[in-house]
Amino acid sequence: MKNEKSAITVAYGDGIGPEIMSATLDILEESGAKLDIEMIEIGEKVYLSGNTAGISTESWDSLRRTKVFLKAPITTPQGGGYKSLNVTVRKTLGLFANVRPCVSYAPFVDTKHPKMDLVIIRENEEDLYAGIEHRQTSQVYQCLKIITRPGCEKIIRYGFEYARQHNRKKVTCFTKDNIMKMTDGLFHKVFDEVAAQYSDIENEHWIVDIGSAKLSDTPDDFDVIILPNLYGDILSDVAAQIAGSIGLAGSANIGENIAMFEAIHGSAPKIAGQNIANPSGLLHGAIMMLVHLNQTEAAERIHNAWLKTIEDGIHTNDVFKEGVSKKEVGTRAFAEAVMNRLGQKPETLKPVKYSAKSVNLPKISKTNGHSHGEKKEMVGVDVFLDWKYGSPNELGNLLEKVNGDGVKLQMITNRGVKVYPNGLPETFCTDHWRCRFIAENDNKIVRHPQIINLLGRVNELGLDFIKIETLCEFDGEKGYSLGQGQ
């Protein structure tokens, strides 16, 4: 163990945060971990003081100075336009990989899956968590799902490197690329590309719906699972809960320069202040932090003492079960039981042994947006309208009038389904219309001035356009999906 102290930033958070953080810090101190702690205030109090981001400039400074953050859960106030601080911190600091081990502790913690031992690797910066949402019409709200090639490469490479370093045999990917062929399709494609470079590790892909069913039914079939952000958020809660309790699992948020460690659960406001919350999730986050800091001895001492405590049947309410557990304890007594066992090892559960090796972080250039030299050509434009005044055919007939200047109306969809030309009367329509115009000239190319002129003509008809999406081809490959029924 290194002699000098490692600087870390700590936030007590909201709800059960202060109780579980204080239990965790006491165990860290008693274990001999060498930490120099900077405290910051984030979350509910900061939000309610008028800071909509929930974090002050001084707190960002501390995080950028120490580069290691041990964070208790925080409450995002509902409504009022507050953005989730967790998502803000993860994205602002580039913490692209969220690592969530979910392990059973049978027969000492009740579970239907006694052999479960898997790691969820959740992409942490993209997907619907871009948080770009708009109300576009009276009836329609939209959230953008953003998936990037560098984002996919980073998380998928990290997942394979993690598997290799932790001697895991198989990496599984879940996506919904049978429906979202471009966004989830890219995630799956990059998974296949990267997997081909790790021939020592088995790989597989499941559509997320059946994959989730299998994960809930036979979690022992899985080893490392790499997931886009939303699926990873949902399925890591499922995996932690079926392993024994959401209160058990910790989480590491890894970036190139900074890392954040936390429990996977939230601030559990209903049980706050009652000394009944399980501090184990945050403690597991803290153990991952010690490994990250190369303080593997302290990590091992705490983890083994924790396993011995669980094995001795000393359990908090969330995992306590008559006939399985021996003694129900509160947050503080549980922490004391762990501290009393520092230096001991479990007898039935496998003791842990940590090595100081860290996962090789993928090197992806920040500007690696397009491959160089790729030919991008604009071949049309989707114009989205807020229109409440009639049938698809009426709108179609109106829009045929704006054809010209090398662009022509190709189709109109409503909620993605083609309704003009030749729509079906059964299709339900809202006030949100996507009107696709394509190039009608010899070279099949549309230029920006043509789009500006087209919008001018749409405006002259008194139509309310709410956004456009250009339709591009990349090296001749369509960069947009067809309408359903097109």
Supply the minimum distance, in Å, between the C-beta of residue 242 and ligand NAD.
Answer: 13
Supply the minimum distance, in Å, between the C-beta of residue 252 and ligand NAD.
Answer: 12
Which tokens belong to 203? 């790989």
Supply the minimum distance, in Å, between the C-beta of residue 12 and ligand NAD.
Answer: 12
CB count, 10 Å around CB of 65? 10
Supply the minimum distance, in Å, between the C-beta of residue 172 and ligand NAD.
Answer: 24
DSSP 410-433: EEEEETTEEEETT--TTS---SEE
Q: Under 8 Å CB-to-CB from 76, ≥6 apart: which residues?
A: 47, 54, 82, 83, 84, 85, 86
Supply the minimum distance, in Å, between the C-beta of residue 44 and ligand NAD.
Answer: 8
Phi, psi of 82, rounded to the nearest 5 degrees: -75, 135
Crossing angle of helices 331-340 and 296-311, in 10° steps, is 110
Mapped onto helix, strand or coil, the DSSP state of residue 223 is coil
Give the CA diameter of the chain: 81
Cα–Cα distance between 25 and 84 in angstroms, integer?
25
Q: Name the residue whose CB lies closest to ligand NAD.
A: 266
Q: Using the minimum distance from each CB to ligand NAD, give the nearer residue, 161 or 262.
A: 262
Binding site for ligand NAD (CB under 6 A): 16, 73-76, 86, 246-247, 262, 265-271, 277-278, 281, 318
Say which DSSP state 114 is in.
T
Supply the minimum distance, in Å, between the C-beta of residue 258 and ligand NAD.
Answer: 16
Q: Using the minimum distance from each CB to ligand NAD, give the nearer residue, 76 or 137.
A: 76
Q: Using the minimum distance from each CB to ligand NAD, give the nearer residue, 104 or 278.
A: 278
Cα–Cα distance between 124 and 239 in angstroms, integer?
17
CB count, 10 Å around CB of 223? 17
Q: Using the minimum distance from each CB to ligand NAD, give the nearer residue, 16 or 224.
A: 16
Q: Using the minimum distance from each CB to ligand NAD, give the nearer residue, 82 or 206.
A: 82
Q: Using the minimum distance from each CB to ligand NAD, give the nearer residue, 95 or 171.
A: 95
What does the buried/exposed string (b/e) look like for 333-372 if buried means 16 or more CB atoms within 10 Å of the residue's CB? ebbbbbbebbebbbeebeebebeeeebebbebeeeeeeee
State the residue for tokens 């899985």.
Answer: 222
Supply the minimum distance, in Å, between the C-beta of residue 239 and ligand NAD.
Answer: 14
Supply the minimum distance, in Å, between the C-beta of residue 470 and ligand NAD.
Answer: 36
Q: Using the minimum distance from each CB to ligand NAD, give the nearer residue, 271 or 290.
A: 271
Q: Using the minimum distance from each CB to ligand NAD, give the nearer residue, 10 or 16.
A: 16
Instruction: Give the closest residue to 289 by CA, choosing from 25, 55, 103, 102.
Output: 25
